[in-house]
Amino acid sequence: MSEPTADNISIVAVIGAGTMGHGIAQVCAMAGCTTRLTDLGQAQVDAGLTTIASNLAKGVARGKVTDADQQATIARLSGTTSLEDAVRGADLVIEAAPEQLAIKRDIFTRVAAVVSERAVLGTNTSSLSIADIAAPIPNPSRVIGLHFFNPVHIMKLLEIVVAEQTRDEVTASMRAFAERIGKQPIVVKDAPGFATSRLGLVIGLEAIRMVEQGVASAQDIDKAMTLGYGFPMGPLKLTDLVGLDVRLSIAEYLASKLEQGAHFEPPQLLRDMVAQGKLGKKSGQGFYEW
């Protein structure tokens, strides 16, 4: 059995058409893959396809995408509410469903029942163990983490997360595929929080502790990192964009999983703000007003 190489991945199925899934579908379709997007309901599928069309139109307006590429990309995309129809015959499946182990395991079990043994199965999880997600399926050696960043069509990084059982050929194939879709890959072990979530979170949590201790205002802490260290965005503004509830649940997960868990103990201020419904941009209030 041999994995599809980057060049002969021709059919990609993306599961979940939300914030991440539609962007992943867009970059795969732009790279020439027949791409099928699936979600629970037609409304989510349609919203994902509409956002892709709007991203492409903006790309054309800015001179980044040609008219021909826009049309060809849209022609390569389709949507369905049937997970089985989406993944049948796919060379690569990328799951971008909610960050809950039970949901992801159920999806992988259904996918494995339909796809061929040679299909590569990727998950866009931002913190869960790839080995845990892959555990229920036969032949988990074809499962790999493909951690994209938001917004997917703009952000250049692809964090490839390799579990102990992931075959080397699968990793090599995904490294090459990352380049084909215009991303720069890094390869990281399946350790809690991988590289990006673990490092990003520790800075974010420390920034929240500094607000809690009155060291400086949120604006000044963010300025410290943007102007002093060249970060494109301060850690508190980023926390508002990601969602304080999302950061809290990843912090709790890493505090329980990592040996150095104390770094990840959520500050009381974070817990209090989440309890008060101050979730960041999505609720209109976080460390900033939106």
Question: Rounded to whole angstroms, how far apart are CA atoms 108 and 179?
Answer: 25
Of all helices (H) and strands (E), which one includes residue 215?
Answer: none
Check residue 82 for interaction with ligand NAD (CB under 6 A): no
Question: Rounded to whole angstroms, how far apart are CA atoms 115 and 12?
Answer: 11
Residue nearest to ligand NAD (CB): 18
Contacting ligand NAD (CB under 6 A), which of 5, 10, 18, 252?
Answer: 18
Nearest to 48 by CA among 57, 40, 37, 59: 37
Is 237 marked within a binding site?
A: no
CA distances, 215 to each of 101, 129, 131, 199 (Å):
37, 35, 40, 21
Of the listed pieces 66-74, 93-101, 111-119, 228-236, which binds ligand NAD according to CB under 6 A? 93-101
Of the listed pieces 35-43, 53-61, 231-239, 255-263, which binds ligand NAD according to CB under 6 A? 35-43
Question: Would you say 44 or 166 has its CB closer to ligand NAD?
Answer: 44
Is 18 marked within a binding site?
A: yes
Question: Rounded to whole angstroms, how far apart are CA atoms 96 and 86?
Answer: 14
Question: What are the residues whose beta carbons fall under 8 Å from the beta carbon of 165, sequence distance 6 or more?
Answer: 131, 134, 140, 141, 143
What part of residues 108-167 is at the interface with ligand NAD (CB under 6 A)?
Answer: 124-126, 147-148, 150
* Feature table: binding site: 16-21, 39, 99, 104, 126, 150, 282
**Interacting residue ranges for ligand NAD, rule: CB under 6 A:** 15-21, 38-40, 44, 83, 96-99, 103, 107, 124-126, 147-148, 150
